[in-house]
Amino acid sequence: MIDKSTLWIVIICLGIGSFGLRFVFTGLVGDREMPAWLLRHLRYTAVAILPALVAPQVIAPAATGGQFDPARFAAAAVALAVGVLTKNVLLAIISGAGTLYSLLWLLG
């Protein structure tokens, strides 16, 4: 269960922070340039944080008590592979979900 005060702190701070990130340049910085080294690191934030968040869930899912689960692992692999090959986010999600349900059903 998520604590209610924590939840509202997260909602409000995340709202302010997200707006800040979106407003920082159009609103405040204007046309001044950012240092190249900073931009170079910022380019890889999403592509680093999201896999870091997912990797432990793929190898040791919380739902199976941290035990490796072939159905979940295969579903993750299929979603990623379809995404890379087709660049189609929706198709990748559907393929991953399809794999998960087929294997959960087959492996009982």
Partner 1 sequence: MAITTTKSAFRKGLADAAPFVLVIIPFSSLFGILATEAGLSVFETLAFSVVVIAGAAQFTALQLMQEHAPTAIVLASALAVNLRMAMYSASLTPYIGAAPLWQRALAAYLTVDQSYVCSMAQYEKEPDMTIPQRMSYFFGCVTPIVPLWYLFTLVGALLGTQIPDSWALDFALPITFLAMIAPMFRTPAHVVAALVASIAALATASVPYSLGLILAGMAGMIAGAQTEVWLVRRAERTAG
Q: Is 53 in the site for partner 1 (CB under 8 A)?
A: yes
Site string for partner 1, 13-52 (x = CB under 8 A): xxx-xxx-xxxxxxx-xxx--x--x-xxxxxxxxxxxxxx
Among 65, 67, 68, 93, binds partner 1 (CB under 8 A): 93
CB of 61 to partner 1, least distance (A): 7
CB of 85 to partner 1, least distance (A): 8
Report how far Cα 55 is from the mean position of its chain's Cα atoms.
10
Residue 74 exposed, middle or buried by CB count within 10 Å (0-12, 13-18, 19+)? middle
- Cβ within 8 Å of residue 64, ≥6 positions away: 72
